[in-house]
Amino acid sequence: MTSQGANAVRGLLADLAERPGVLIAFSGGVDSAFLLAAAMRALPSDRVLAVTAVSPSLARTERQSARAFAAGLGATHREVMTQEMDREGYRENGTSRCYFCKSELLDTVTSHLADLPHGSVVATGTNADDLVAGFRPGIRAAAQRGAITPLADAGLTKENIRATARLWGLSVWDKPQAACLSSRVAYGIQISPARLARVEAAELAVRHSLEVSNVSSVNLRVRDLGDAARIEVDRELAGMPGPWHEAALAAACSVGFQNAHIDPHGFRSGSMNEGRKDPGPA
C-alpha cells in the first residue's frame, strides 16, 4: 500500500478513536465491513454497534456473510427490518430509488443510537471514490440525516480499502461488489418482493449453471428488464463463446423470465444508470 494510503488509514483510526461511539450501517460489503473492523480496532467493543437492514432487497447470502463477518470480529451485530416497500418513491423505482431506500435505512437504524454512549454517531461505508462517482442519491439521503462518512473523510479509495483489508487479514478484501437486489431492476419497473425473489433465484441458478459448465465469473448480475433478463458476467467471460451461454440463458428462464441474453459488454457496476434521463430530486 502507498504511504498516502497508510496515512489515510491512520487518519481513519484517529477519527474513530475520538468518537464516543459508532453505529455502523453494515451491509456486509467490503466498505462497511472494513469500517466495522477499523472501529473495532479504534474503540472498545461496547462502543461499536453494527446494524444490518433486512428486507426483500437483501440477498440471503449477503445476510449470512454479514453475520459471519461481524461474529468473527466479536462485534455486536443487530439485524433490523426495514420497510422500503412502504415508501411510494421506492416502489415506483425511479432513478432516485436509492434515496428512499437510504432514507428508510437511516431512519430505522438511528433509533439504536440510544444503546451507545451519548454523542455517538451513525456511519456509512461511503468511500472517497463514491464521492466522485456521479449520481448517488443514497449518499445525499444519508447526509441529510447526519450520517458521517469516515472512509471518504479520510480519503480512502476502494483500492486503499481492499489493500488494507488484505493486510489486516479480513476475509472480505477480495469480495465482489454486491449491491442490493433492487439495483438489478430496470428503472420504471415497480419493485415488489416477488420480483426481487425472482432476481435472486435467477442469479443463483445462473451461477450454478456456470459451475456445471466449468467456467467462473467473479461478478455476476441478472438485470430484470421486465419479461426479459440481461445477464452480466466478467468481461473476459462475456466474450468467450461456448456451451455455457445456452446453459446460463436456460437457467435465467427457469425461474420465470420469458427470455434472456448475455450482455456482450460484461459486468459494469451501476449499469442501470446508463442512459438515465432524470437526475432525481435536488
Domains along the sequence of the chain with CATH: 3-167 (3.40.50.620), 181-273 (3.30.300.10)
d(CA 171, CA 72): 10
d(CA 132, CA 200): 29
| Confidence (pLDDT) at 279 | 42
> If you ran DSSP here, which 8-state letter would residue 240 be given?
-
Q: Give the residue among 217, 224, 219, 235 at the shortest CA–CA distance from 184.
A: 224
Which residues are 229's β-sheet partners? Answer: 224, 260
Please give the average per-residue pLDDT across 52-72, as a whole number: 94
| Confidence (pLDDT) at 269 | 77
Please give the average per-residue pLDDT across 116-139, as a whole number: 88
Q: Give the residue among 131, 135, 140, 143 at the shortest CA–CA distance from 95.
A: 135
Question: What is the average pLDDT value for the chain, to the nearest integer?
Answer: 92
Please give the average per-residue pLDDT across 70-95, as a whole number: 94
| Confidence (pLDDT) at 2 | 78
Record the pTM.
0.89
| Confidence (pLDDT) at 276 | 52
168-201 pLDDT tens trace: 999 999 998 888 999 999 999 999 999 999 999 9
